[in-house]
């Protein structure tokens, strides 16, 4: 049984009491075995002096292979971005998707993200990248109407094959995904739901991201997307929905009543000028599980959850005219324990507690922008002062994947070179 000791750090547990303690974290066989004072040694140890140990960050919605499309559709609204994205998708090969996903995994690991929920096609290639990087991927194969897809074959059959192939893996968890109401018919939603129920996996989709999406669907069906999905029986506790920007309070309550979770993508929504702001305070009041997400590198340009935590807090403070509306502790929750709840894995992830999987991040506080620090401002520093580049170490399932800014087991220079070459050939 292998063991790892994180020695002498400030531990942001994210447990039910949100305790911050000074001490050690002992990891044995991939799980957290002790938190606090640990006597004795371990097979491997990390010095965490002047550093903070926290749960690995969880990115609740992205399209990781779109690192290859970074910068390809800047300064345009969603509809124009999707046109460019769909056109680019038609050019990508399986190998392109794999290298784009691996590039994204490297970026996330180096900035403290240990788990992500992805929505794409060719998720088997994303799974390959996840295994190579050694991080945790919740991978949803995108299902949509056949006339809109660039996939070969029938999307729902592709999703079924992917799910059955990747169930019961250690780091890869398959899901069934849907692009959105603008390219998915009632029959497609029904087929995706039937597949998810039959295989006992989760569902993921885009929902009410823009005003155009909502109004066009209302024009077509007489109902807003949330109302329509509820009517056709699609909403339920298996589902997490990205965005939910253009939703009414009645729709928020309907989502909560059905047990749907939400992935909040503030930076992407701002960059695409979606115009609205997801009503997080009302979502919290209704009991909705909400996780923070970067969305695609095409609509965010980065996968740094530290940057997105700060932007999330500032967006809601500014639009609500209330500096206290989304405090630092709640924002950190959205990126850790709340995101784990939104994905349905909070029994194993999201906090530093004995028995949970050892997905951990060590953040260096010996930086000009994090000095001074002391217990009273640790959480605020993590949200408002820290950057992805401050990550000293990233551990996934008890295995050190990043140390002192270097990704272990991957030739980062080779990944960057290959990604640049592929992107230049396709879009340069």
- Give the model's pLDDT for residue 128: 98
Q: Which helix or strand (DSSP H or E) is residue 191 part of?
A: helix 186-199
Report the first-to-last Cα separation within the chain, whole angstroms: 49
- Give the model's pLDDT for residue 428: 74
CA 404 – CA 390 distance, rounded (Å): 9
As a whole number of Å, the CA-based R_g of the chain is 21
CA 156 – CA 162 distance, rounded (Å): 10
pTM of the model: 0.97
Strands annotated E in 37-185: 44-47, 51-55, 57-62, 113-120, 136-143, 172-178
Helix (H, G, I), strand (E, B) or coil at 162: helix
Q: What is the CATH number of domain 3-56+356-407?
A: 2.30.40.10
Q: Which is more confidently placed, 302 or 87?
A: 302
- Give the model's pLDDT for residue 86: 82
Mean pLDDT confidence for 377-386: 97
Q: Is 223 exposed, middle or buried (0-12, 13-18, 19+ CB in 10 A)?
A: middle
CA 285 – CA 226 distance, rounded (Å): 19
Which residues does residue 362 pair with via DSSP β-bridges, in sequence order?
A: 53, 393
Helices 123-133 and 155-166: crossing angle in degrees, nearest 10, is: 30
84 — pLDDT class (breaks 50, 70, 90): confident
Which residues does residue 186 pair with via DSSP β-bridges, in sequence order?
A: none
| Contact between 52 and 10 (Cβ < 8 Å) | yes
Residue with tokens 């991978």: 139
Average pLDDT over all residues of the chain? 96
Integer angstrom CA distances of residue 149 from 27, 215, 427: 44, 23, 21
Q: What is the CATH number of domain 57-343?
A: 3.20.20.140
Helices 186-199 and 155-166: crossing angle in degrees, nearest 10, is: 10
| Contact between 296 and 62 (Cβ < 8 Å) | yes
Smallest CA-to-CA distance from 35 within 319, 356, 367, 257 is with 356
- Give the model's pLDDT for residue 81: 86
Phi, psi of 278 (to 5 degrees): -55, 130
CA 19 – CA 197 distance, rounded (Å): 37
Q: Is 293 left (phi over 0), alpha (psi -120 to 50) or beta?
A: beta
10 — pLDDT class (breaks 50, 70, 90): very high
CA-based max dimension of the chain: 67
Q: Among positive and negative, which fits the CA dihedral 180, 184, 189, 192?
A: negative
Residue 372: asked if its preceding bond is cis (omega within 30°), the reply is: yes
Smallest CA-to-CA distance from 175 within 114, 103, 241 is with 241
- Give the model's pLDDT for residue 168: 86
CA 168 – CA 316 distance, rounded (Å): 39
CA 95 – CA 145 distance, rounded (Å): 25
- Give the model's pLDDT for residue 87: 85
79 — pLDDT class (breaks 50, 70, 90): confident
DSSP 56: P
| Contact between 326 and 131 (Cβ < 8 Å) | no
- What digits encode the pLDDT tens for the residues 246-259? 999 999 999 999 99
Phi, psi of 120 (to 5 degrees): -165, 180
| Contact between 60 and 117 (Cβ < 8 Å) | yes
Residue with tokens 């995994």: 105
Domain boundary assignment for the chain: 3-56+356-407, 57-343
Q: Among positive and negative, which fits the CA dihedral 391, 395, 400, 402?
A: negative
- What digits encode the pLDDT tens for the residues 261-281? 999 999 999 999 988 899 999
């Amino acid at each position: 049984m292998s063991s790892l000791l994180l020695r002498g750090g400030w531990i942001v547990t994210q447990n039910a009491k949100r305790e911050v303690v000074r001490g050690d974290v002992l990891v044995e066989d991939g799980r957290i075995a002790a938190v606090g004072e640990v006597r004795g040694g371990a097979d491997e140890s990390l010095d965490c002096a002047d550093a903070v140990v926290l749960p690995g960050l969880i990115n609740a919605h992205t399209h990781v292979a779109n690192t290859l499309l970074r910068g390809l559709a800047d300064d345009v609204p969603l509809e124009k971005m999707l046109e460019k994205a769909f056109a680019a998708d038609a050019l990508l090969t399986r190998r392109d998707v794999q290298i784009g996903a691996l590039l994204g995994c490297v970026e996330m690991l180096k900035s403290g993200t240990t788990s992500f929920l992805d929505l794409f096609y060719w998720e088997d290639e994303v799974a390959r990248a996840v295994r190579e990087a050694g991080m945790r991927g919740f991978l949803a194969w995108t299902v949509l109407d056949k006339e809109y897809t660039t996939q070969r074959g029938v999307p729902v059959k592709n999703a079924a094959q992917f799910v059955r192939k990747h169930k019961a893996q250690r780091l890869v968890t398959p899901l069934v995904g849907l692009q959105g109401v603008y390219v998915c018919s009632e029959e497609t939603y029904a087929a995706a739901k039937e597949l998810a129920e039959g295989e006992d996996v989760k569902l993921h989709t885009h929902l009410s991201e823009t005003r155009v999406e909502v109004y066009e669907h209302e024009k077509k069906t007489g109902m807003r997307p949330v109302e329509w999905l509820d009517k056709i029986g699609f909403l339920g506790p298996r589902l997490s929905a990205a965005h939910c920007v253009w939703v009414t309070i009645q729709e928020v309550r309907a989502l909560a009543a059905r047990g749907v979770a939400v992935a909040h993508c503030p930076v992407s929504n701002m960059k695409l000028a979606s115009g609205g702001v997801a009503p997080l305070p009302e979502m919290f009041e209704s009991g909705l599980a909400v996780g923070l997400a970067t969305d695609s590198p095409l609509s965010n340009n980065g996968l740094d959850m530290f940057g997105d935590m700060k932007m999330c807090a500032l967006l809601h403070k500014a639009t609500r005219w209330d500096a206290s509306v989304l405090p630092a502790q709640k924002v950190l929750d959205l990126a850790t324990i709340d995101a784990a709840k939104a994905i349905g894995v909070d029994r194993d992830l999201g906090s530093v507690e004995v028995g949970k999987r050892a997905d951990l991040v060590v953040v260096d506080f010996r930086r000009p922008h994090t000095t001074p620090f002391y217990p009273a401002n640790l959480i605020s520093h993590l949200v408002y002062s820290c950057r992805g580049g401050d990550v000293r170490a990233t551990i996934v399932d008890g295995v050190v994947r990043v140390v002192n800014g270097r990704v272990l087991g991957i030739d980062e220079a080779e990944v960057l070179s290959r990604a640049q070459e592929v992107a230049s050939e396709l879009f340069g």
